């Protein structure tokens, strides 16, 4: 099983969640693990967190993995406060994540 990288934009929120989610799910539907590269993302809303969590919930029963790369300290803090950090492995870069 291979790993594909999906890079988000500057924001992952209600303005783009409906378009981002299907792109991530398409990778999972193809049977690939996905690394969501958030290195260019400076804001994740509750809608964005739902995108990430739903991706995890789709991947897990298929034996696939969703990893996060390039997560800013601010976004990481929010994920830790909400418990989302327990669902994902975090990497400094997408390249590092793909080596795992």
Q: For 29-47, write each residue's pLDDT tens digit.
A: 999 999 999 999 999 999 9
DSSP H helices in 1-100: 17-29, 46-59, 73-82, 94-99
Fold classification of 3-99 is Transcription Regulator spoIIAA (3.30.750)
Identify the CA nearest to 8 among candidates 38, 33, 46: 38
Distance CA 60, CA 96 (A): 21
Q: What percent of the chain has pLDDT over 90?
A: 97
Indicate if the pLDDT at residue 70 is higher than 90.
Answer: yes
Over residues 72-88, the mean pLDDT reads 94
The residue ranges of every structural domain in the chain are 3-99
- In this prediction, residue 20 has a pLDDT band, given cuts at 50, 70 and 90, of very high
- In this prediction, residue 100 has a pLDDT band, given cuts at 50, 70 and 90, of confident
Q: What percent of the chain has pLDDT over 70?
A: 100
């Amino acid at each position: 099983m291979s790993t594909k990288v999906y890079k988000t934009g500057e924001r992952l929120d209600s303005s783009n969640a409906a378009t981002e989610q299907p792109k991530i799910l398409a990778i999972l539907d193809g049977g690939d693990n996905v690394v969501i590269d958030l290195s260019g993302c400076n804001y994740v809303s509750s809608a964005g967190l739902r995108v990430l969590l739903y991706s995890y919930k789709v991947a897990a029963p298929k034996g696939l993995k969703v990893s996060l790369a390039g997560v800013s300290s601010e976004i990481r803090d929010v994920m830790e406060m909400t418990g989302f950090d327990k669902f994902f492995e975090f990497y400094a870069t997408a390249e590092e994540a793909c080596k795992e």
